[in-house]
Amino acid sequence: MSNSPEDSDVNVEAERVAARARVSWIILGVVMIAAAVGLGAWTFARGNTPFAIDLWWNDLLVALASPVFVAVSQAMDFLGGGWFGVFVVPIGGTVALWFFGRRWGAVFFLAASILSAGAVQLLKQSFGRERPEQILVVADFGSFPSGHVANAATIAAVALVLFPRLWVILVGAAWVLLMAFSRTAVHAHWLSDTLAGILVGVGVVLVLAGAMARPLAREIPEDEPDADAGAGSGGATERAR
């Protein structure tokens, strides 16, 4: 049975709405990445000295430090970076998504992880900000932006795009905030470094999500309660094609 003219008009309008949403995601992602670059440039122009809020937060955590507090933060250091965070999590997540039939999702996750990490390293080398003197962990060159936080934000944002549920938002936000807190707790980063990490991680995911919205939307299960809110805000339209 052919579609009626009314149905065709509805489909055309739905596609226009979805297209605008995809473009909006890309624009928002670019703005977030640009904001991170702008923050880095501002910091660099000031001689890479910490902002007043950086010093206040760092001094507060020095005063609150305890063995348990530091131990938890050091565990987060392992989970969010090094060989585990850089290789095991992205590769393991990619393989799992591929195995369960989310092949575009797997490509999306791997690409987001690589691009986010690459952007972080580019900014680190460009701005060369020194880490706080009280650092309690071994870390690579460059404090700005936080690679651990960018990685956590990338994972959380990818999870939300692929599995658009309220609990994913809550767990993802908690994970990112905990990672940001832990990075400052071990004095590996200034607070502003963690903000830049969030901007980079989420920004990269938004740009990719907008660019890959159509294939990602086709993989969202039909019974996903919030599916129309994910993968470019055009999930239902794309799956119907």
Model confidence, pTM: 0.84
pLDDT attached to residue 235:
47
**Alpha-carbon gap, residue 140 to 190, rounded angstroms:** 15
**Alpha-carbon gap, residue 184 to 44, rounded angstroms:** 20
Confidence of residue 241 (pLDDT cuts 50, 70, 90): very low
Confidence of residue 8 (pLDDT cuts 50, 70, 90): low
In this prediction, what percent of the chain has a pLDDT beyond 90? Answer: 59
Q: Give the pLDDT confidence of 43-77 residue by residue, as tens digits.
A: 999 999 999 999 999 999 888 877 877 787 778 88
pLDDT attached to residue 17:
64
Q: Which residue has the higher pLDDT, 18 or 116?
A: 116
The answer to whether residue 10 scores a pLDDT higher than 50 is: no
Span between the terminal Cα atoms of the chain, in Å: 15
pLDDT attached to residue 52:
96
Q: Give the pLDDT confidence of 69-98 residue by residue, as tens digits.
A: 778 777 888 787 777 877 888 999 999 999
Least confident of 31-35, 61-65, 112-116, 209-213: 61-65
The answer to whether residue 189 scores a pLDDT higher than 90 is: yes
**Alpha-carbon gap, residue 154 to 149, rounded angstroms:** 8
pLDDT, the chain, mean: 85
The closest of 221, 198, 216, 200 to 233, measured between CA atoms, is: 216
Q: Give the pLDDT confidence of 160-174 residue by residue, as tens digits.
A: 999 999 999 999 999
For the chain, give every domain's residue range: 5-239
Helices (H), the chain: 5-45, 52-64, 67-80, 82-83, 89-99, 103-127, 147-162, 166-185, 191-211, 213-218, 235-239
pLDDT attached to residue 166:
95
pLDDT attached to residue 234:
46
Which CATH number is 5-239's, of 1.10.3470, 1.20.144, 1.10.287, 1.10.10? 1.20.144
In this prediction, what percent of the chain has a pLDDT beyond 70? Answer: 84
The answer to whether residue 146 scores a pLDDT higher than 70 is: yes
Q: Which residue has the higher pLDDT, 136 or 206?
A: 206
For residue 207, give the amino acid letter.
Answer: V
Residue with token string 């870390």: 139
